[in-house]
Structure 1
Amino acid sequence: MGKIFWLASYPKSGNTWMRILLTNYLRNSNEPADINELDGGPIASSRVWFDEWAGIEASALNDTIIERLRPEVYRCLVRETKEPLFMKVHDAWGRTDRKQPLFPVDVTGGVVYIIRNPLDMVASCANHWGISVAAAVDNLVNPDFALARSSGALSNQLCQKLGSWSSHVQSWVDQAGLPICLVRYEDLHQNTEAFFEQVVRFCGLPFDEKRVCKAVVFSNFAELKRQEEASGFHEGPVTLSSSFFRRGQVGTWREELPLELAERIIEAHGDVMRRFGYLDADNNRL
């Protein structure tokens, strides 16, 4: 029986890039992996996948019942594979209404948590959600924020309770009690080989330096943009009119984020930002 490695993050923090890196490493092919055919298992909140394994359509259930069933669906999935699964997840770590962990320890190999400076992340979130930057900031500071809540419109995703950015980070890093490899997006961007190597080793994959280097080259931002422009990217929301792979840079908040919105994020998340190196002790932005 395999185990699940949860690739966890707040949206637009580099989760998809990590999946692409892992796919290119696992395949060890002579050409880049197709971004629309990634390995590692389904996205943890996929409605189609849930319907298949639960044996009932999520549209017939409310969010509480769906959440209650999700841990058992993950267990069913793991029983059918001998290989490790790498599942993208944007939910905060938490428990069901019956106090059961949403992400069961018995099927978990570990957590790769990707964290990104929220000042940089918020403009990408706004673009991804099709809302203003100010509205995206509202989401990042909202303790009750969730994606794809049950409504009249049928989403291709199950409800995902994110909470605020700080509570999301803390839920996985401090509360989950699961083995964790924390990767800052900024570090991965600056030295992709070194920090991706840490992920490979943490996940117990056979390590090969040449494969790491090749996976990094095949997963570079220019290649991802090329593929998206040529064939689209099916994991982007149907409402997204611009690119999913937008800029992929560090420090762009200085061009995209009004000062008053930056200050609002810092006021709400300063403690966690300082903890992970995004602010110094005097709240200066690093």
Structure 2
Amino acid sequence: MAKFVWLASYPKSGNTWIRILLTNYLRDGAEPADINTLLGGPIASARSWFDEWVGIEASALTDEVVQRLRPDVYRCMAREEQETILMKVHDAWGLTDRNDGLFPSDITAGVVYILRNPLDMACSCAHHWGVSVEQAVQNLCDGNFALARSVEGMSDQLYQFLGSWSHHVLSWLDDSRLAVHVVKYEDLRADPYFKFGEVVKFCRFQWDGNRVRKAISFSEFSRLQRQEREKGFRERAVKASGEFFRRGQAGGWRDELPAHLVRRLIDVHGETMRRFGYLDENGNPL
């Protein structure tokens, strides 16, 4: 039986980049991996997997029943595999209505949690969701925020409760009691060899420094943008207002995010932002 390494993050935090790096590292090909055949996906909330393993279409069930069944779907998947399963997750960590961990500890090897400055995420989420920056900030601050709600109609994904950005972060890091390795998007951009190397070691994959360097080269943002332009990216949201691989920068919020929205995010998430080095001791953005 295999165990999962959950690649968890709030949307637009760098999850896809981590998966591309891991795919290039593990496949060790002569050419960059196809962005449309990545490991770890499409996502833990994919409706197709649930329907296949349960034998009942999720559309026939309430969100509560679907959430109750999801842990056992993952257990069934683990029984069928022999090697570590990488799985992308955007849900917050939590319990089902029967007190079962949505991502069960008995089949979990660890969690790689990808963390990003919410000031940068606001602009990325707005483009990804096809909404205004104001709405994206509201979502990041909404304690009841969820994706793929039933009221929104049929989706290729299951209901995912995220809560606010701070709730999402702390649910995995403080509440899950799972082995969690945190990788900050900004640190990964600044020192990919060291920071991605830490991810490889945490996942207990065989270490090879040359493969790490090659994976980083094959995962350069310009290469990803070129692939998306040439053949599209199947994980790009239908409502997205632009390309998935848009800017990939750290600190881009300074050119895009209005001051009143910066203040709103700091007012709501200041404590968490300060904990992870996004604010100085006076509450100013770094």
TM-score (norm. length: structure 2): 0.99
Q: Deviations over 1:91-125 (max 9, x none)?
A: 00000111111000011000000000000110000
Q: 2:112 is paired with a residue of what secondary structure? A: strand
Q: 1:50, CA displacement in angstroms? A: 1.1
Is this contact kept in 2: 1:40–1:84, CA < 8 A? no
* One-letter code aligned to 1:186: E
Q: 1:152, CA displacement in angstroms? A: 5.6
What is the number of residues matched between the two proteins? 286
Partner of 2:228: 228
Q: 1:241, CA displacement in angstroms? A: 3.8
Q: Deviations over 1:130-154 (max 9, x none)?
A: 1000011110111000000112621
Structure 1 residue runs without a partner (length 5+): none
Q: 1:41, CA displacement in angstroms? A: 5.1
Moved more, 232-241 or 111-120: 232-241
Q: Deviations over 1:62-98 (max 9, x none)?
A: 1100000000000000101001111000000000111
Partner of 1:89: 89
Partner of 2:23: 23
Structure 2 CA distance, aligned partners of 1:24 and 1:165?
29
* One-letter code aligned to 1:29: G
Is this contact kept in 2: 1:36–1:234, CA < 8 A? yes
1:168 maps to 2:160:
no
* One-letter code aligned to 1:223: R
1:5 maps to 2:1:
no
Structure 1 CA distance, aligned partners of 2:238 and 2:267?
33
Q: Deviations over 1:220-272 (max 9, x none)?
A: 10111000000111011122241011100011101110000000000000000
Question: 1:144/1:106 Cα in 2 relative to 1: closer, same or farther (>3 Å)?
Answer: same
Structure 2 CA distance, aligned partners of 1:241 and 1:55?
35
* One-letter code aligned to 1:233: F
* One-letter code aligned to 1:281: E
TM-score (norm. length: structure 1): 0.99
Q: 1:151 is paired with a residue of what secondary structure? A: helix
1:276 maps to 2:269:
no
Q: Deviations over 1:138-172 (max 9, x none)?
A: 10111000000112621111111000000100000
Q: 1:282, CA displacement in angstroms? A: 0.1
Partner of 2:159: 159
Structure 1 CA distance, aligned partners of 2:2 and 2:65?
26
Partner of 1:213: 213
Q: 1:40, CA displacement in angstroms? A: 3.6
Structure 1 CA distance, aligned partners of 2:85 and 2:172?
18
Structure 2 residue runs without a partner (length 5+): none
Moved more, 56-65 or 38-47: 38-47
* One-letter code aligned to 1:46: A
